[in-house]
Chain A
Amino acid sequence: MRAAGHRFAAGRNWLGAYVAAYLVFLYLPVSLIPLFSFNDSIQAAFPLQGFTFAWYGTLVGNSALSGALSNSIVVGVAAAAGATLCGTTVAYMEIYGRSPLAQAVSMISRLPFLIPGVIVGISLLIFVNLLGFGPSRLAIVLGHILVALPTSVLVMRGRFASIPRSMSEAALDLGASDWVTFRRVMLPLSLPAVGSAFMLAFLMSFDEFIVAFFLASTEPTLPLYIWSQLRFPKSLPTVMALGTMILTVSFVIAGLAELLRRRGLSQMTSRPAPAGPFKP
């Protein structure tokens, strides 16, 4: 008994060390960026030279940067709206309609997960050229809808599947058509997930590089701007300050999305209030 307990404890220690190593590997490089963004030196190297906010100052009044930022936001919002709309529709048809066709469509829409970004980028470039409008903001939006669609479908699908079937059946039973059932029961019950899917899709678009790289014309998105700045060693600290801010915003949005998703779930599974003493 005792020996087994020891072995178990030892195993737990190893597991702990493994997890710690994993976390360090995952987050140490990322944490270097905020670290150097406050470093009073143009080189990203140790030892640190002292604390400064100067690099953040260089972000202000940079018109190329603010152009790229607003570009990214416009593209992100448009792509997130498109992906959320498509994702909601596809997931709803799969869970509610349950036809083999809807299931096939849903599976196909989740497939881009497996297609390398380079391939998506090149094929979309050929496609938008064939369509005639070529590389543009619209092209990036379309590309990012494709990139974010699997996530939207997965989020919305999980949500719709967690709503008991009797909920939509009760609406139908009381006289609601399919559309009214969606609008008055299923959609309100999944609104938190819609918000969550939208934010995640926005994040994916906001952070996406490779597809935007192929599809951008003269208006770069933020990741493209950062990449273009890396050619100038002098602007490295500015890039790190920018990167830190992007990281912060990303974490906040992802946290909010997860919060929303969970809140929706807990509302769904609320049990009956404890029955008080029985009074007819």
Chain B
Amino acid sequence: MDFQLTEDQRALRRAARELLAKRFGPDRLRAAVGDPAPDRALWRELGAAGFFALRLPEEAGGVGLGLPEAVLVLEETGRALLPGPVVACQLLAGVVDGVASGEKIVGLCEGGREPVLWEHPAACDELILVETGTECRDGVGGGARGRTAGVCRSAAERVSCAPFASVDPLTPLARVTGLPRAEALALDASRLRREAALLTAAQQLGSAARTVELAVAHARRREQFGAPVGSFQAVKHLCAQMLVRAEMARCAVYAASVTEGDLDVTGAKLLADEAAVRNARDCVQVHGGMGFTWEADVHLHLKRAWLRAECWGTAGEAEELLAAGLIT
């Protein structure tokens, strides 16, 4: 047993962090708030760097790495608040042509819930829908019933949508109302769903760890009563609890990437969601009035964390699954 990152894994994480810092720095982040469409040039650059082809075998032009490595890279995208359907592109590289290289951008939606939300609808070339319920609909919101769990794809322009005002300025959303003439994909729906949950949890982890850093940096800099506010215990203890949440989530997410167990992933998502949401809220608090502004980046972490917490398994669903897992 050696539950620590290997040298190669550390190097990979460092490289991902450096690439994102160079190509998606603070100015780009602020610009993305006004125009959150993924930057196609950046997407191709990420593709060239192997971001999406990470898990494809080397014979297929991929990097030949595994889920733990994908988790480390996704953690960095969460940390950097990179906008765009990164999870979808990571999971569908090698399935949909052009995704691995970053030429094409695809979206991934979870069917069987209401509303079915689609991230970055204007930026996607295709939409892939995952249905995992026992009874799935052919075309969301009506149509022939009776199909079992499955995955289907559709060209983006064929999807009918209704507008949806996203709470997260970095993630435009649309409500999917119909997927006419969708084509079935031979993919394992429950595995896709599990991996989507895990990679989303990895992004939450990156965000949770980042808000600890932001809070600590602010608490050291900002002075009141003649001292850095970080010297006051009430503030210090908020920061300490933030770190505890992030580190718990880290262990759960990393372990789930190794075991790929259903309950491990479910638990990891639950803890990572909680860490991301609660850390972002505490980070707002530590920033004081500044934390309540559009200007500070903190709200971007909070809103994205809320959004991800609704994807691929909510807290309520996770807790029920985990409870059932105690009995079987």
Verify that A and B bind, or say they do not.
no
